[in-house]
Amino acid sequence: MAPAASPASLPLCVCLLLASGFAQAGRLLVVPMDGSHWFTMQTVVEKLSHRGHEVVVLVPEVSWQLGKSLNLTMKTYSVSYTLDDLNHHFKFFAHNQWKTQEVGMFSLLKNSGKGFFELLFSHCRSLFKDKKLVEYLKQSSFDAVFLDPFDVCGLTVAKYLSLPSVVSSRGIFCHYLEEGAQCPSPPSYVPRILSKFTDTMTFTERLWNYLTYAKEHAFCPYFFKAATEIASEVLQTPVTMNDLFNQVSIWLFHTDFVLNFPRPVMPNMVFVGGINCHKGKPLSKVSKSEATRYLEVEQEFYCTCA
């Protein structure tokens, strides 16, 4: 088991990601995911860099959004696909989502999505083929890995380097969050993602929710097969998704506790909703006469409706 499970790891990660400027600076390795996932992580890592922490971001040479920040140290590595390949697979995936009438996690990921995500997963094999970069990572003595868990590579890197890992995510597909964080999520009470059920399910809805949970256990290992095969090659031992998620030290969720269904949460699960929102503009000033007229119209509307 990686040192992420040791009691000393949690305070270290907290200092790196949540402490104010007076904390001792640390060394943070960032393994992001491309696209919109990067926007929130970029905000966090740039703030950490401004506070004096040494931040290194691993970036594939081919990407949409990664590597565009000028304030961070980037370490790039070559990949086996081109930007045209990435665009082609994503357009095919997106087009199929618009065509299907089925709504749910399985329609999102199966068939058309598998090829696109396998392409994304493949960059991790390319990363570890770069022997010079891997040697640099071994010698750099990072304190923790800050990662987006969706493409799995960050989890593989953290396990390979035996480092504490800090996850940044809106949520986790499949059942790996509950099992990795040991967080109770009984299907009888907590709706599965994209199921459209509420926390007041009927008996039939609870039954369908349980069947969805069972389908996840059957389908998710198949969907992440390419990612776990790469992780097994890198770590030179058979690896499952549970093995990778069990090592997570801190979970940072881009949401708020009150927006989720009622459920227990673990001490290492931190809700940071709002960090990827733009600061709101001040309300426009209105004159006293305009405000009075607005109240009169509102009162007249309610009286008419009553």
Tell me the pLDDT tens digit for each residue of 279-292: 667 766 666 565 56
Characterise 190 by phi-psi region: left (phi > 0), alpha (psi -120 to 50), beta (else).
beta
Helix (H, G, I), strand (E, B) or coil at 23: coil
Of 113-117, 218-222, 249-253, 292-296, highest mean pLDDT: 249-253
pLDDT at position 26 is 87
Characterise 115 by phi-psi region: left (phi > 0), alpha (psi -120 to 50), beta (else).
alpha
Question: Looking at residue 21, what DSSP letter applies?
Answer: T
**Global confidence as pTM:** 0.79
The rounded distance, in Å, linking the Cα atoms of 285 and 279 is 18
Q: Residue 297 CB: number of other CB atoms within 10 A? A: 10
Would you say 276 and 254 are in contact if contact means Cβ atoms under 8 Å apart?
yes
Structural domain count of the chain? 1
Mean pLDDT for the stretch of residues 106-124: 74
Name the residue with higher pLDDT: 238 or 46: 238
The answer on pLDDT for 245 being more than 90 is yes
Of 21-25, 107-111, 119-123, highest mean pLDDT: 119-123
Q: Residue 93 CB: number of other CB atoms within 10 A? A: 19
pLDDT at position 302 is 40
| CATH label of the domain that carries residue 227 | 3.40.50.2000
Residue 102: which pLDDT band, with cuts at 50, 70 and 90? Answer: low
- C-alpha distance from residue 83 to each of 79, 179, 192 (Å): 10, 35, 34
Name the residue with higher pLDDT: 6 or 75: 75
pLDDT at position 140 is 92
Residue among 85, 92, 26, 28 at smallest CA distance from 60? 85
Residue 71: which pLDDT band, with cuts at 50, 70 and 90? Answer: confident
Residue among 35, 31, 60, 34 at smallest CA distance from 45? 31
Mean pLDDT for the stretch of residues 121-146: 95
Mean pLDDT for the stretch of residues 20-35: 77
Arithmetic mean of pLDDT over the chain:
80
Mean pLDDT for the stretch of residues 229-243: 94
Helix orientation angle between 37-50 and 9-18, rounded to the nearest 10 degrees: 90
The answer on pLDDT for 84 being more than 50 is yes
Residue 172: which pLDDT band, with cuts at 50, 70 and 90? Answer: confident
Would you say 198 and 286 are in contact if contact means Cβ atoms under 8 Å apart?
no
pLDDT at position 4 is 42
| DSSP β-bridge partners for residue 254 | none
Residues 6+ apart with CB under 8 A from 292: none
The rounded distance, in Å, linking the Cα atoms of 207 and 124 is 38
The rounded distance, in Å, linking the Cα atoms of 32 and 64 is 12
pLDDT at position 40 is 79
Helices (H), ranges, the chain = 9-18, 37-50, 83-99, 105-109, 112-121, 123-129, 131-139, 153-161, 176-180, 203-223, 225-235, 241-245, 288-305
> How much of the chain exceeds pLDDT 70, in percent?
75
| DSSP β-bridge partners for residue 167 | 147, 251
Which residue range forms the structural domain that includes residue 135? 3-305
The answer on pLDDT for 306 being more than 80 is no
Residue among 190, 109, 120, 179 at smallest CA distance from 148? 120
The answer on pLDDT for 3 being more than 50 is no
Mean pLDDT for the stretch of residues 185-205: 86
